[in-house]
Structure formats: structure tokens, C-alpha cells
Structure 1
Amino acid sequence: MINYREILRLRSLDYSQRQIAASVRSSRDTVSQVFRLATIHGLSWPLPDEMSNQMIYEMFFPAQLDSNAKRIPDYAQMHKELAKPGVTLTLLWAEYCEKCYSEDATHYQYTQFCDNYRRWARATKATMRIKRKPGDAFEVDWAGNNMSIYDKVTGEQSEAYIFVGVLPCSCYAYVEAFPSMVTENWITAHVHAYNYFGGVTRIVIPDNLKTGVIKNTRFETVLNRSYNEMAAHYDTAIIPTRVERPKDKPNVEGTVNHTATWICAALRNEKFFTIQELNDAIFLKLEEFNAKPFQKREGSRLSAFLDEEKPFLKPLPASPYELAVWSTAVVQSDYLITDGKNKYSVPFDLIGEEVNIRLTSRTVEAFFNGSRVASFPREAVRHREPIVKVEHMPDNHKKYLMYNETAFLEWSASIGSSTLLTVKQFLAAGSVVEQGFKACASLTRLADRYGHARLERACSRALAYTPAPSIKIINTILRTGQDKVDQQSSPNETNPGSRYGFTRGAAYFGGEKND
């Protein structure tokens, strides 16, 4: 449909027809026609909020409207029906469509049907008071008025934020103070409220705060993952209010005002030094508030809750909810993630990828493409070094971990006595054992290249030549294959003319030995 309101708004700002046509994606002829019809009907910006593009269209083109007339619903009857339990606009629209089909009449589409009804309700100043079903909804919000916590030593003042939740049917309320409005406290407040009520409602109606709702548009609602996980545990559904529509949860809005009077204002002359002290005082006032008699009907919030609502609440889950907070992070080159206090490793091949991090009081978990790739017990104490699993490291990092005396000795002992003796010689050759790590690491590479059996024979042959063998000698023995020569006799017995250890011989230079 043509955006008549936007065309008239831009006209009031003295934009040209060409500019307006480009902005609203309509032709200049259409813009010119709207200008002309607006002048005829005396329309000028600003327009009333309730005047929609459809209403302007009906005003501009009544002939076309009459030629394609649609059956107008009985809005007064709809209003009465909506007050009945379980009746929704969707149900009324379906019944309206069936009636139109049976009478061969044209019906409104659902969106226009709802818009027309709401327009009628505003025009007649009708207030839709739909009695909530017991156990159906739980409206939640942060109160606008904060309270204060004082430091015992310095007297410094800090803010305490008040969570308010109410069951609309009985108006039974729950109130608790928290040091901040972070996601953990928001979810903890829900958990405490459910425990206070002794049950769970079918739906939860929050505002569009970022700790609970990431995005809420006409087409989609994206909830905070931690908030959604909590709802799944309690088998409830989160249905946020429309953006900037606080009347979608009128009961909690009213309870917020009552809370400001009967709890916050009642405690205004008291000083609290901890959140626990403040909550102890709040809970006492909350009991008084819920037991306070209604002004315009019999009973109190407490009696209404016990008599009308509590039997209809869903039971609490068998296992208590474990608070989990989700976040995302891109894995850096050190293949570490953090819980804010300590760092934990993930598989190195995820470097550069975005992973989901799930934090509970006891565990740290990382997920990639829906699969868990790492899990650690969550450390309560801060560690200077990251917590790394060997299987998460690349091969060269794993080998670097072997660069210590104990690891080299254990490795060489698993190969053989000659290799062990050689490693001991390397470690004892310098003034400190670390000076022998390079030779030991080279020895491990020779084992990877030639195999453990050949390395053991090469070390044995090298030790027969000298008590202090070097990597160069062992490498030469392996490269020339001398470790494969029968070693039943010593080198001096094999070559009596050699008194100075290993010699290459004529065969090395391509010569032939004369018999």
C-alpha cells in the first residue's frame, strides 16, 4: 500500500515530488495525485496518530472501496466476546471468515481485522478488561525506584535494584532486591519467584529489556539464550510485550507503583548495609502487602492466590534449576576462552571461529555449531596460568610440554637402557639440565624418523665409541645404517687398525678394499 502518511510528512518538509517519490518508492504521478487529493480533503501534516494509510485510502478513493466492499465485523460484540476466558482475536477472526464465506462476502485479512478493532476501541475509549485465567501468566519488570546500600566503614552509598513480579489473576506479588540488573540476577529473580509461588505459570510477560530480549520486531522475537534456557527448564513460554507498550502488562506496572509506596517508601528511613539485610526487610513488607485487604473487593492478594490461582499453577521441576549464562567469543591464536576470572583452552583448530560459552557455578563449556567441544570444572580461585588440556594443543605445543627432565627420562627409559644412558649424558653435560634439552629434543625427532629400535641400537653403538656421545654421532650412525651392523663384537675387534673410535673406511669414499 502507498505510504500516504510519509508522503504528507515529507511534503510538510518542502521536499520535491521527485525526492519524495524516490524515498517512498512510488511514481511521481502517484505523489502528485496524493498532493491533489490531500488539498481537496484538507489533509495536512501532522495527522492524528490513529489515522492509518488504510483510512486515508478510504477517504481518497471511496468509489473503489464501495466496489470492493468488505463485511464490517460487529466490533461491539467482539469486545464483549474478548472478555470471556480463552477468546482471542485470532479465534474471532476465524469465526468472522467462516461467516463471510457462508454469506459469500469479502472479509478483512487478519492484520487489518485487528487494526480496525483496536482503532474502534480507541475511538470509543473502550477499556478492554480481560480477566486473566488463573495460573496463566506471570508479569515481570524492574521497578523504577531504586534503594540504597551503605558501606559500613566508609558510608559510601550504592544502588539496589528492585525486581517485581505479579500473577495477574490474583495480583499476588513477589519483590526482591539485587545489586545490579545483569542477566544472572534477572534469571535468579524468576527462580526465586517460582519457589515463592510454589509453581510455574504457562507464560512469562517481560518488558523488552536487553537482559531478557535481544530483538523483538513485528516479524520475530529473539530471546537471550540464558533466559530461554531457564524457560525451557520450567516448561514455560516467554512472550515479551510489544515495544513501548507497557499496557501489555498492566498488572505489574500497577504493582510497581504499589511497591514504591508500600515497600520502598515504607523503608525510606532505614539504612541497610548488605543486600541480605535489605531483602529481609523487603520480604517482611511483602508479606504485609500481599495480606493487605483489597479496597474494592473481598479478600486479599494472598487469599485470592491460595483460593483461585495456586491450584492451577504448573508444578515445579523435580530438579532445581542451575543458572547458566551464555555468551559468545571468537577464539584467538592462544586458543583460550575466559569466564571473566580464569582462562580455559578449546581445540586449536577453532582459532578464528566464534564459539558459544556456557557458564554455570560449577562448569565452563564451549559449543561450536551446536556441539560441545570443551568442558572444564569452573575454578573459584583465580589462577595466573591458563587451564589447558593437552588434547587441545597442536603437535608442536605438545612436544614443547615434554621439555623437562622428568619427561625426557621417562621417554628414554621406555625405549631402552642405551637411550636412557645417552639422555642422562646430555642432561649432565651442561652446568644446568636445561642446556641438554635441545639435544634430548633432537633425539626424540630421530626416534620419530628412524624408529625406537634403531635409535636404541645407534645409542648403544655410540656409547661403545665414547662415554659422551653427541647427536651428530648418533645421527651419522643412523644415516649410514651402521646401527644395522652385527654388534656381537666391539668396533675395535671389527677394525683392529682403528684406535681412535669411529672411522669412515675406504667404502665410504667409493674405493674397494684389496684382498
Structure 2
Amino acid sequence: MIDITEILVHWYAGRSQHDVAGSLGVARGTIRRYVEPAIAAGFVPGGPPVSEAEWAVLVKEWFPHLTDTRLRQVTWPEFDKHREYIAEQLRAGVTKATIHQRLRDERGVPGSVASLKRYIAANLAEDAVRAKVTVLRADPEPGLEAQIDYGLLGSWTDPRTGRSQRVWAFVMVLSHSRHMFVRPVVSMDQASWTASHVEAFAFFGGAPARLVPDNLKTGVDKPDLYDPKLNRSYAELAAHYGTLVDPARALKPKDKPRVERQMPYIRDSWWKGREFTSLVEMQASALHWCREVAGRRKHRGLDGRTPAEVFDQAEAGTLTPLPAAPFILAEWSRAKVAPDVHVKCGKVLYSVPWKLIGSHVDIRATATMVQIFHQGELVKTHVRQDKGRATDIADYPPEKIAFHAKTPTWCRRQAEETGPATTAIIAELLDGPALHRLRSAQAILNLADKHTDARLEAACRKAAAAGDPSYRTIRNILAAGLGGHRARPAHRRRRRPGVPARPRATVRRRHPVPREHRDDDRHDEHAPRRSSCRCPRRRAGHRLVTGTDTVALPRKDAIALAQLLRTLETVLDMDDVSVANALDAHFGFDGAVDVLFTTAGLHADTLHGLLTHPAGHPQKAETTR
């Protein structure tokens, strides 16, 4: 570009137009055109001194179209119509090429990209450069700060598996000395993030006072300029090493420039062109490179000194010493307690107290232990498992786990406390696949809730002697009061005041017709039909005869009654008539009804309707076919 002021200075100094043209490389016609306004204004070469600033003012007055570029632009008036839109796009960080494309496609503005750039430089210079302004920070004090970031290195094929994986570099740089730690990883999960910090602090021999990480989820749960919410695992790490976490602002990489600037250097100096057979070898190589290469390079920001030298001389002694106890990595998660009183941690279900169903709990999982917290209070601890579920039956309500609580071991222990006969029966039931007969064993031992241990032991002894040590037999013996001890009177019905006593009666089965009379009865059509079978359990149907009344006995009740009588006959080694008489003599009529109702399972309405008779007419009751 021609400098008009320089031409006028040379001319006014007394040089000819020919000499000025040859000296400045400008045509004589051009020199003449710029000198003519000065001659017309009365300036003569060799006149009074005129400074360059005065000539510049005169040039703007004589040649306004040359000094003010806006007067020469054809498309600028079109751009000026969208000045606010262009300024808004610049403040948002949009590039000039993209602004030109949007103006052309969305608003129909003509003009080239170069014209737009000239317009912005002349009219919106402040808006164009405002976002580019960088405030230089003073170097932090030794041991004060470390900046942390992840950077992508590239792809790596594992020779053992043939699988290609992306490799990332965890980088921590001490801001004062620029000494760095690099650890390649194939995963950026919570375990890798925490383990990398532990290795970095071990590499430096201490921890800095402040950590400046990025806002990734393994470090920061919720970014915020004034009150960021840290990840609980990361907060535990910071508390263990006595350091402060001060995350960089979201989308502001210039908040941690010392680590951001190192990523291209790491990729070029260490990663590219190298082959590794394993991740362990890769990490060992990175440590060697940090000490011998990166740590020994001369750094311009350190006035030519090396990071290792500055670290050893000024920063190593200012770091916070490492704690004596190693850090235990813990992963935190949050879950809702399901109706089955379990929460999920990883791939495993862990039980919690049943009262927390529907509540949200915090889960802290280490390599060996899982702790569950509710509102900050520890409510459950489990040993960590890899798969399946971990259930403590004590977390269920007691009534929901009665079967599970009374294990085979519990059954054997309770039987030993009762007596040897009970122990032998329980041992026989639990021999082999105990789970299939566990309920029978539990039922026998539960009889001790209604009867004394002595009565249960005697009943078990009689059942074993009879060769039928089943739950039903033992229950019937106890219900009939034949275990050698008087039955508990708790279930006896009490007569209300003013109600007459119920008449006594015995329940017996009719004697079979003697053999010598059977033929006569067979041909006597008026003779009552009698059964030749003495066992009630073989009859298809029964009736109960009370005096002159005959009432049909339901088949279910008849079978239950027959089973009871058969059991008593077997255990006592006597016939059914003797059994019936024994019941009547031992309990009385009311007691016999209670025994039948409780043991045989007969309906109370049926028994009272069938085994009773009109008041004042005590009679015997018998069953016939």
C-alpha cells in the first residue's frame, strides 16, 4: 500500500518528483497526483518544517476515500444492516466463516468471506477479540496445585486377544514445577480414576494442596461455579490425602492450561511409533518416560531449567506427606429397597432390614465389603460377592421366616434338649435329603409349645415303640392324653353359669354279631343289618345312632374318626371299644368331644349335633353302617 505521507515528506524536503518516484518505486504520475493538492494549498519545497503527524492530518482531508476504507466497500452497507446479529454470533464464539455462511443462506446477504472479515475488523474489532483475551496467571506456589485431565492417545491392539481398544492417558501436572505423571488406561470408570490418583501421589511422594480436575462424572456429580457437588468416592479420596478438590469451570479448558498443553507433547514424544505387548508394560514405559524424558527436558516457562530439577529443589518438600494407611477404594451408588428387602449393587442383590422397603439407601462397596446407609446411618453390612445374592434372614419379619429360621441344625439341638426318643425320631426324619422332611420335624418340635417336654418325649417314645414315629401319630397321642401325663386343661370347655351339664356318653362301635347267630340274621328280614368288618376305616359310609335318633355322619368326618381310633388301637394295643371307654373314663364326655375335634379334625357342629342327645336322657352313642 502506498504511503502518501512519505511521498509528501520526500517532496517537501526538496527532492524532485523524478527522484521521489525512483526512490519509492512509484510512478511519476502517481507522485504528481498526490503532490498536486499540496501545491494547490500553497506548500513549496523547502518551506517551514511540517511534521509527519501534520502531513497525516492533511492527507485525511485531501484523500478521504483512501484513509477511510468504509467509503470504498460496496457490500459493507448490507453487512451493516445485520450488525447486531453479527456481534451476537461473535460473542457466542461462532467463527467468521460460519457467520458468513449463515448470513448468505438464512438472510440472503451478498459478499465474500474476505469482505465480512474486513467489515468485522473495521467495525466490530472489540467483539471479535473480546473472547480471545487471556489473563495471565501468576505461577502457583510450590506444592499448591496440580492440574488433572484425560487425553485420548489412540487405538491399541492387544496381542493376546487380538482385540483393538482405545487407550487414554491420565495426566497429572504439578503447576509450579511442570513435573508430570502419565498413566495409560483402557477404562475411565471410578476404579481407574481413583487408582490413577493413588499412583500419581505415590510417584510424586506426596499430595498437593489443591486438585484441579475436569468435570467428568467420576470426579464431579454436579458442576457448579460456586458449589460443585463432588463424587462421594472422589471426596473420600481427597479427605484421605488431605487435599482440596477445585474443579475447573465447565467448558473452560484454559482453567487448567498446564495439563491441556501437555497432551500433544505426550502423544508425539511417547505414544506414537511404539509397540506394547500389555497394558502393564505400557504403564511402566510411561513412568520411565516421565522421569527420564519429560522430567529432564528444558522448559521455557522455567527459564531453561528442567521440571525434575525444579521439583527436587523447590516443590518435593512442600507436598503433603502420604498417610500411613493405604486408601481403600470405595464405590458409591444409590438404590431403592424392593419388596423382597433387597437392593442391587453391581450384579449382586443384598438384603436390608424389611422396615426400609420403598426407601432409598446409599451403598458403599469396597473390594471386600458392602455397607448400606439410610439417611447417613449404617443399617447393614455384607461381605461382597461377585454374583448371586446375599440374604440375611434376620432382615425379614419373624413370621415370614419361621420355616427358614428352624434349620435342621436347630431341629437337632431342640430335640436333644427334649429327650433321647425325640432326638432319635428327628434324626431319622432329617437323615438324607433333610429339606423334604424338614416340615415334619418342625411340626413335631412345635408340639412343645402346647405340651410339656416330658409329654412330648413320652409320646415320641410310644410312637417309636408302635413303629409309626410320624407327626400325626405323636400329635394324636398327645391330644388323647395317652403320653403318660395328664393333658393340659387349657383347651377344656368351661360350662357357663346357669347352663346344665351336658350328659355323659361314650363313643363305641357295635360288637359284631356272634358267628352262631349270623345265619339266622342273614335270613331274617327284620333283623338289623350288621357289618362283619370291625375296622371303621373300611366303611364307605357311617351313621351315628343316639338313642332313637339316627344322623348321617359325613364321610370326611367318619374317615378322620376312624384314623384316630386306629392310631389309638395300635399304640395302646387294645380294641376300639376299650379305646372308646378309655376316652370316656379319662376325659368325660366333654373331653372326648374336645379330643375328637382337636385331633381328628371333625367339625364342632357335627360333633355336638351327633354325639349329644336330649337333656335328661343320657344314652350311649354308637356307629353303625
**TM bracket (short chain):** 0.5 to 0.7
Match of 2:450, as an amino acid?
Y
Counterpart of 2:147 in structure 1 is 139
Counterpart of 1:351 in structure 2 is 357
Aligned residues of 1:326 and 1:359 also touching (Cα < 8 A): yes
Decide whether aligned partners of structure 1 residues 157 and 470 sit closer, same or farther in structure 2, where only a CA change above 3 A counts: closer
Decide whether aligned partners of structure 1 residues 46 and 454 sit closer, same or farther in structure 2, where only a CA change above 3 A counts: farther
| Cα drift, residue 153 of structure 1 | 4.5
| Cα drift, residue 236 of structure 1 | 0.8
Counterpart of 2:307 in structure 1 is 301
2:130 is the alignment partner of 1:130: no
Instruction: Structure 1: state its 5+ residue gaps.
Output: 1-41, 53-118
Distance 1:212 1:162 in 2: 16
Distance 1:395 1:234 in 2: 45
| Cα drift, residue 189 of structure 1 | 1.0
Aligned residues of 1:450 and 1:478 also touching (Cα < 8 A): no
Percent identity (aligned): 27
Task: String of CA shifts for 1:395-453, please: whole Å, max 9, x gaps.
Answer: 3564333676554333312222243244356568xx97655333222224333x32653
2:492 is the alignment partner of 1:413: no
Distance 2:404 2:160 in 1: 49
Counterpart of 2:316 in structure 1 is 310
Counterpart of 1:445 in structure 2 is 446
Match of 1:471, as an amino acid?
Y
Q: Which moved more, 1:472-481 or 1:179-188?
A: 472-481
Counterpart of 2:295 in structure 1 is 290
Decide whether aligned partners of structure 1 residues 274 and 335 sit closer, same or farther in structure 2, where only a CA change above 3 A counts: farther
Counterpart of 1:471 in structure 2 is 471
Aligned residues of 2:344 and 2:350 also touching (Cα < 8 A): yes
Alignment of 1:95-494 (within 5 A): 122=130, 125=133, 127-143=135-151, 145-153=152-160, 155-218=162-225, 220-264=227-271, 268-287=272-291, 288-295=293-300, 297-340=303-346, 342-379=348-385, 382=386, 386-395=389-398, 398-401=401-404, 406-424=409-427, 436-447=437-448, 449-450=449-450, 453=453, 456=456, 459-460=459-460, 463=463, 466-475=466-475, 485=485
Distance 1:502 1:337 in 2: 62
2:583 is the alignment partner of 1:504: yes
Match of 1:243, as an amino acid?
A
Matched length: 393
- Corresponding residue SS for 2:261: helix
Decide whether aligned partners of structure 1 residues 505 and 218 sit closer, same or farther in structure 2, where only a CA change above 3 A counts: same
Distance 1:360 1:319 in 2: 15
Aligned residues of 2:463 and 2:470 also touching (Cα < 8 A): no
Distance 1:396 1:48 in 2: 70
| Cα drift, residue 305 of structure 1 | 1.2
Aligned residues of 1:465 and 1:501 also touching (Cα < 8 A): no
Q: Which moved more, 1:432-441 or 1:206-215?
A: 432-441
Distance 2:451 2:486 in 1: 18
Normalization by structure 1: what TM-score? Answer: 0.66
Instruction: Structure 2: state its 5+ residue gaps.
Output: 1-81, 93-126, 488-568, 591-611, 613-617, 620-625
Distance 2:165 2:322 in 1: 35
Decide whether aligned partners of structure 1 residues 168 and 49 sit closer, same or farther in structure 2, where only a CA change above 3 A counts: farther
Decide whether aligned partners of structure 1 residues 305 and 122 sit closer, same or farther in structure 2, where only a CA change above 3 A counts: farther
- Corresponding residue SS for 1:211: coil
Normalization by structure 2: what TM-score? Answer: 0.55
| Cα drift, residue 170 of structure 1 | 1.2
Bigger relative contact order, structure 1 or 2 (CA pairs below 8 A, ≥6 apart): 1
Match of 2:294, as an amino acid?
F
